[in-house]
Structure 1
Amino acid sequence: MKIQEQIEYTTADSIVKELVRAGVKVAFGVVSIHNMPIYDAILREGSIKLICSRGESGAVNMADGYARATGKLGVVITSTGTGAGNAAGSLVEAWAAGVPLLHLTGEVASPYYGTGRGYIHECKDQLSMMKGACKNAIHLKQPEQTAGVVRMAIEEALTAPTGPISLEIPIDLQSAIIEDFKLESIQDKENEKQFTAIIPEQLVVKIAEARRPVIWAGGGVISANASQELQDLAEILGAAVITSQSGKGSIPENHEQCIGHFAAYEATKEFLQNADLLISVGVRFRGNETSNWKVPVPEEHIAIDADLQAINRNYKATIGLVGDAKNILTALVQKLKEKNVIQKSSYIEEIISLRYQLRTQLRKTLGPYEQFLDGMRDILPHDTILVRDVTVQANVWGSRLFEIYEPRTSIHASGGGIGQGLPTAIGAQIGCLDKTVVLMAGDGGFMLNVGEMVTAAEENLPIIIVLFDDSGYGVLRNIQDAAYGRQVAVDLLSPNFVKLAESMHFDAVRIGCGDEFVSELKKAKESRKPSMIVVDMEAVGPMAKPFGGPPGAAEAFKPKKL
């Protein structure tokens, strides 16, 4: 609801005008003396909902989760210096995941910028810090340029390769009186994407003639809204589909051709060695997902990506197709429909067999947690958004065996940082209020942003937290045991999480077996209230096989000559 507007039009008003023009409905942040004019302008304009986080790190993660779950621009507002520094780690995560995000931060008053005189909240070189954490960082120099600079920042965040853009505005410039004027963009960025991709005929023939094709689908498929086109391509070719962690949901994981997020498993490596064609779509080929690039790929590799620099960065491509994945796949599917593509039923059967083998192999390691996995998938709606912090259960089965059926319903920490799951889940829930959002987290990482539980309660979000409590850093324990045969700095004193959650207005319960978990998860899903289920891992018992981290993790830390 709009309130009475001030007479003068300021830089802050120009910022908000551009946010509204870009369709922004929600902004996250922490108010400060170095961003108050922006907050006041948002209040006066009246159409943007402000979410007040308990820390800048959490605010960025919320904007990140909102953007990943909705496909819209995430917006976060922080203070100068320490506030911007608190945001930096979470901005690195948004950069690693290619999340379109606008970070608005204050700066010291322009006469003192770069002087080192000790102006409150001063940072030696905030812009460089932000450039290191983001896709790009911009400093507003003149108030009259505000509309153009903000619009440029938004467009850069949304342009592939998408990523966070930080815009710093000195505090004196935020309240500067400027003229309100019309800034018309002649180029329509959306229509620029609406072109017909021209696929060379010889390439179509090459693809059609492949007998053992594999598609590797990454987050770029989801960013381009190209999931249906990807599935169409897979079905026409009879291809196996491997997904990256970010690509989960690009094809329904109950599809018989979906291998899933199992690229680094030995059975998948053997399968790839016998493939005659790889089509990668929007894949970064991250080190931890490819055994540090030791997963073999076919010599014939067609790479599709919107980022020119992605081609040949990690795996050599014989042909690179640069552009919007949806357009390229649409054109490719249409061309292949005109060809006589012969699928080999024996190859489809081999894909189905590999799919079953991988899942059966991993299930055997879960022990009592197999009931947790099956209970979650049976109880939760198909479109549940599963957010995973870095923890043993999330890494082992949350990221592989819990089936994802739709794009934007699987969110994880691409950069590998712990503790970002809770605020990310909050942002996802704010963006998708009608959906069920479930967070899988471990006690160690969870404590990093535990204060954001109050933010969830304040917004009355029906988020469900499944907290696996083993009083320590479980992943690191196992890696240290394998690498050194001993442990250090991994044991933690856990609080009474039930009392802690209840003090933050959550319904909470501690459980010690699978039957209790299933029962409490049903209650939490039906209540539509902020809920936490604390899993007492000592009471539940160990997994059948300890998780030793990503393939090769223990070996990497053993002493060796370089």
Structure 2
Amino acid sequence: MSTCGEILVELLEAYGIDTVFGIPGVHTVELYRGLPNTDIRHITPRHEQGAGFMADGHARVTGKPGVCFIITGPGMTNIATALGQAYADSIPMLVISSVNHSHELGLAGGRLHELPNQRQLISGLTAFSHTLMRPDELPDVLARAFSIFASARPRPVHIEIPLDVITAPADHIRRTVAALPSRPAPAPAAIEQAAALLQQARNPVVLLGGGCSDAASDARALVEMLDAPTLLTINAKGVLMPGHPLSLGSNQSLEPVRAMVRDADVVLAIGTELGETDYDVVFDGGFSIPSPLIRIDIDAEQLNRNYPADIAILSDAGLAMAALRLQLERNGFSAADKGAQRVQALRAQFEQDWSQPFRAQQRVLETIQQTLPGVIIAGDSTQPVYSGNHLYEAESPRSWFNSSTGYGTLGYGLPAAIGAKLALPERPVVALIGDGGIQFTLPELASAVEAGAPVIVLLWNNSGYGEIKRYMENRNIPTIGVDIYTPDFLTIARGFGCHAVAPQSFDELREQLQIAAAAKRPTIIEVREDADFITAFTHG
């Protein structure tokens, strides 16, 4: 006899899942019974939040859903923050949890790990949350989840299984993988309307979001045909290659760029929610789109959020961009041929204004990128990440991502980098994280050692919550709670079984990155904000 839990892992493997993140507990052990009969690898984090962040990092670099097994009650409240980050950034994640016996639900009997309503707690952080009341529902619920991952705006899905259902006989249920839907294509009439508007444009601007990550070639072809200055969200970095003549990077919050958008005669926004953490990181409400706006998005509701569209196209980004380019060709489109000149002038205008601290952090990022070809950088909410969001140009999509967008949690960078490294072990992966943020998930160093994931942790140490401290000082707020105790990270890292160093020059940083890239265990490279080779840049 096969149980529902055993059939579950069999179906997960059939859907292409190769890794599961979870911490076994008495309420989930039956999910593990069938794992040895599959090739699915299990990774044990040290906290359920770490499990969610690892699954997130795994999903970001592959585009495939990350999967977690999570216990009832505290496991779900622990992973909620990771679900919030994944939901905000449109990351596919499948969280499978236990829940108390079906006849105990909602009775408030004081059972182990009991919540008043676990599904209600989590439903706002997911595309949907479902309680599996019979094994017979399993194939259909999984088909629904993987259909969303395949063809809709990807977001987390939660499936909770009562303890008596996990162990219920399930030999009779269907074990075939569902035929997943294709992504939606654009309506021809909408494409014709958008092409006609672009045909008349002389100063178009393109805004590319994370929805374009899997359609980089289509995006490049379209913006080059339009000869349009182009802005990238953080999750779209790499869609245009470094130094692309039409790329203005992710600088939507700079006034010269905002002025260009205001002066545009058409704005084309593709796969972007036009949210605050990409377009208004100075939080002054200064970004606006007064010109006609064409929006392309896979999420129908998103098409009129934040900035209502004049032309709204519900479609997969790649399919819409290909169709739009074809329609422009049919129309005999000819660009104004001045986009690259406009971009060059704007870059010259704002690049001279970067602060010295930004330039020091840029030098650190350049050293990483030059030393580690093909590097993936998973960042936290920390100063070099903020500067990198402006200055760093990723070599390819899905190779620069961080938690400063959307939900904006701390502690994300380390476990997300572990998940990314497990997914793509052949590529160097760097966790870019601050001394405050790493203390949220520091024990995950043990997970990396145990899993054989030799991530490189670039630890930016300014002895506290430096960015928040500056924010408070600029507003004459007493700096309470930001000067936190700073432990000896190098000793702690070595205790976890990691290599740990603190370079004192850029040459030494480069050397240590090379050594770390060849290592078989994680490496922590601590860079202090007040180190001489950093302050030499900071003070000019």
Q: Normalising TM by the smaller chain, what interval? A: over 0.9
Match of 1:406 in 2: 396
* Match for residue 32 of structure 2 among 35, 39, 42: 39
Indicate the residue corresponding to 2:3 in structure 1: 10
Change (3 A) 1:370 1:386: closer
- Equivalent position to 2:272, from 283, 300, 305: 283
- Of 365, 370, 386, the match for 1:378: 370
The Cα shift of 1:531 comes to 1.0
Partner in structure 2 of residue 235 of structure 1: 224
Alignment check: 8 A CA contact 2:48 2:78 kept:
yes
Question: What's the CA shift for 1:530?
Answer: 1.4
From the superposition, tell whether residues 185 and 421 of structure 1 become closer, same or farther in structure 2 (CA, over 3 Å). Answer: closer
Q: How does 1:21-420 map to 2 (within 5 A)?
A: 21-43=14-36, 45-182=37-174, 187-190=179-182, 193=184, 199-222=190-213, 225-291=214-280, 292=283, 293-362=285-354, 364-366=356-358, 368-381=360-373, 383-396=374-387, 398-413=388-403, 414=405, 415-420=407-412
Structure 1 residues 35 and 510: alpha-carbon distance in aligned structure 2, compared to 1, 3 A threshold: same
Distance 2:174 2:278 in 1: 48
Once residues 376 and 186 of structure 1 are traced to their aligned partners in structure 2, the CA distance between those partners, rounded to angstroms, is 43
Q: Is 1:229–1:330's contact at 8 Å kept on the other side of the alignment?
A: yes
Q: Give the secondary structure class of the aligned counterpart of 2:312.
A: strand
**TM-aligned CA distance change 1:168 to 1:202, over 3 Å:** closer
Look up the equivalent residue of 1:403 and give its one-letter code.
E
Quick check: 2:57–2:418 contact (8 Å CA) kept in 1?
yes
- Tell me the secondary structure at the aligned position of residue 72 of structure 2: coil
Q: Is the 8 A contact 1:425 1:438 kept in 2?
A: yes
Q: How far 1:342 sits from its partner (Å)?
A: 3.0
Find the residue that maps to 1:105 and give its secondary structure.
Answer: strand
**1:364: how far off?**
4.3
TM-score (norm. length: structure 2): 0.94
Q: C-alpha distance in 1, partners of 2:150/2:78?
A: 24
Q: Which runs of 5+ in 1 are unaligned?
A: 1-7, 547-562
For the residues of structure 1 that align with 2:115 and 2:525, how far apart are their CA atoms?
Answer: 41
1: CA distance, partners of 2:377 / 2:198: 35
> Which 4+ runs in 1 deviate beyond 4 A?
183-188, 192-200, 541-546
Q: Give the letter aligned to residue 404 of structure 1.
A: A
Q: CA distance change for structure 1 residues 274 and 194 in 2, over 3 Å: closer, same or farther?
A: closer
Moved more, 235-244 or 526-535: 526-535
1:296-355, CA deviations, whole angstroms, 9 ceiling, x for partnerless residues? 224211000011111121012110010111111111111222343333344421112213
Q: Structure 1 residue 20: deviation in Å?
A: 1.6
Deviation string 1:257-280 (CA, Å, 9 cap, x unpaired) is 111110011111111121111000
1:542, distance to aligned residue in structure 2 (A) = 5.0
Distance 1:308 1:375, change over 3 A: same
Q: Superposed, which structure 2 residues align to 1:474-513 within 5 Å?
A: 474-513=466-505
**2: CA distance, partners of 1:61 / 1:22:** 21
CA distance in structure 2 between the partners assigned to 1:405 and 1:389 by the alignment = 20
For residues 481-524 of structure 1, the C-alpha deviation after alignment (integer angstroms, 9 at most, x for no partner) is: 11125311001111111111111111110134434323322322
Aligned counterparts of 2:180 and 2:145: Cα–Cα separation in 1: 16
Write out per-residue CA displacement over residues 82-125 of structure 1, whole angstroms, 9 at most, x where no aligned residue. 11110111111111111111100111122211111111111122
Give, in whole Å, the separation in 2 of the partners of 1:512 and 1:250. 34
- Could you tell me whether the CA contact under 8 Å between 2:459 and 2:525 is conserved in 1? yes
CA displacement 1:346-394 (0-9 Å, x = unmatched) = 442111221343333226443543432331222120x211111000111
Offset, 1:198: 5.6
* Cα gap change, 1:217 to 1:400, in 2 (>3 Å): same
**Range with greater deviation from structure 2 (133-142 or 278-287):** 133-142
Contact between 1:12 and 1:41, CA under 8 Å: does it hold in 2? yes
Sort the Cα spacing of 1:337 and 1:181 in 2 relative to 1 into closer, same or farther, 3 A: same
SS at match of 1:511: coil
Q: In the alignment, is the contact (CA less than 8 A) between 1:511 and 1:536 conserved in 2?
A: no
**Counterpart AA for 1:302:** I
Shift of 1:197: 5.2
Letter in 2 for 1:279: L
Matched residues in 2 for 1:365 and 1:449: separation?
A: 27
1:406 is displaced (CA, Å) by: 0.8
For residues 545 and 239 of structure 1, the distance between their equivalents in structure 2, rounded to whole angstroms, comes to 35
- Separation in 2 of the partners of 1:437 and 1:80? 32
Q: How many residues align?
A: 533
CA distance in 2, matches of 1:176, 1:282: 42
Separation in 1, partners of 2:306, 2:23: 39
Give the Cα separation in 1 of the matches to 2:517 and 2:352.
28
Q: Corresponding residue for 1:552?
A: none
**TM (normalized to structure 1)?**
0.90
Are the structure 2 counterparts of residues 370 and 86 from structure 1 closer, same or farther at C-alpha, using a change threshold of 3 Å?
closer
Paired letter, 1:495 = P
Query: Do the aligned partners of 2:380 and 2:434 also contact (CA within 8 Å) in 1?
Result: yes
Taking structure 1 as reference, are residues 347 and 254 closer, same or farther at Cα in structure 2, changes over 3 Å only? Answer: closer
Amino acid at match of 2:228: A
Closer, same or farther in 2 for the Cα pair 1:342/1:157, shift >3 Å?
A: closer
Contact in 2 for aligned 1:154/1:165 (Cα 8 Å)? no
| 1:156 Cα deviation after fit | 3.1
Cα separation, 1, equivalents of 2:123 and 2:212: 26
The 2-side partners of 1:185 and 1:496 are apart by 50
Q: Does the 8 A contact of 2:70 with 2:96 survive in 1?
A: yes
Partners of 1:360 and 1:377 in 2: CA distance = 22
Q: Which one-letter code corresponds to 2:236 in the other structure?
A: G
CA RMSD across the alignment:
2.1
Q: Which amino acid aligns with 1:457?
A: V
Q: 1:432-483 CA distances to partner (integer Å, 9 max, x unpaired)?
A: 1111111110000101111111111112222111001111011111111111
Q: Percent identity?
A: 27
**1: CA distance between counterparts of 2:247 and 2:73?**
46
The residue type equivalent to 1:412 in the other structure is N
Larger deviation, residues 433-442 vs 134-143: 134-143
How far apart are 1:416 and its partner, in Å? Answer: 0.6
Q: Confirm or deny: 8 A CA contact 1:242 1:262 kept in the other structure.
A: yes
Q: Which residue of 2 aligns with 1:423?
A: 415
